Structure 1
Amino acid sequence: MVNVWVLGEHTSASANRKHTTFYRAEGIATRNRQSYKKWGVVRSVCMMFAFLILFSGFTLVRTYASSSEVIPASIDEVVISVDSGDTLWGLASIYKKSSMDTREAVHTLMKRNGLTSSQLSSGQSIIVPSLMLE
């Protein structure tokens, strides 16, 4: 952007000192100002477009690391239907390997089935992973 400045001098009445004042030539400055506004609009539109592309990409990306869906049982795994009175501790102690600690078996069952608490309801299906079975 090119600005043209005009030098002007005037005398201050209070101190009799000369002050130099710069005045902008209006014809060139007006054209530059209009051109600058147009490019400012273009820059703003481009920035908004880039912003939309960036954040729309974030909405399309999906991760399965924290998915709440339970993966269906494989051939090696056993599916149990919970009866009334069954507990996760009791099921873990029945289906775990003899060398496995019951606390570890409960944790494995909870992790495999996506459970956040040890509460079970009647009719619920629990998948016993193959690493627990003998």
Structure 2
Amino acid sequence: MYMAYSNTNSTHTPHRSASTSKGMTFNSSYTKAIVRFVLLAVILGTVFSFGAMVQAYAGDGAATAKTPVSVNSINSSPKAVVQDQVVIQRGDTLWDVASTHKKGNENIRSYVDKLKTINHLTTSSLEEGQVLLLP
């Protein structure tokens, strides 16, 4: 590029012609908008992909429910049966407990025998605070 100088004292500085820079510069507002869009797309992509990974690895618990369980172990295990209990107070006897808790017209002597069998009693004596299971 050739520049001509003159002897005049002017403050005019030489500049390039407009034809050389035409189409080469971007407006700064467009550049900022594009950078913001790309940054927003990267952030959203990261957030959504992280959420998808968490959901994929967390699962909903269905995998543990589908694990095979031996049928024999379920059928042969003893089932917990909630039985009524009575705590023996001072002066209680097996006869008193049997007469209070027997069903309808059941014989008291047979109920005393059931109490002894269930609670593994060898005698009819009871102690204060002892817990008896009721048949």
Determine if the TM-score, normalized by the shorter chain, exceeds 0.5. no
Structure 1 or 2: larger strand share? Answer: 1
**Which of structures 1 and 2 has the bigger CA Rg?**
2
Sort the TM-score into its range (normalised by shorter chain). Answer: 0.3 to 0.5
Write 1 or 2 for the structure with the bigger share of helix: 2
Normalised TM-score (structure 1): 0.40
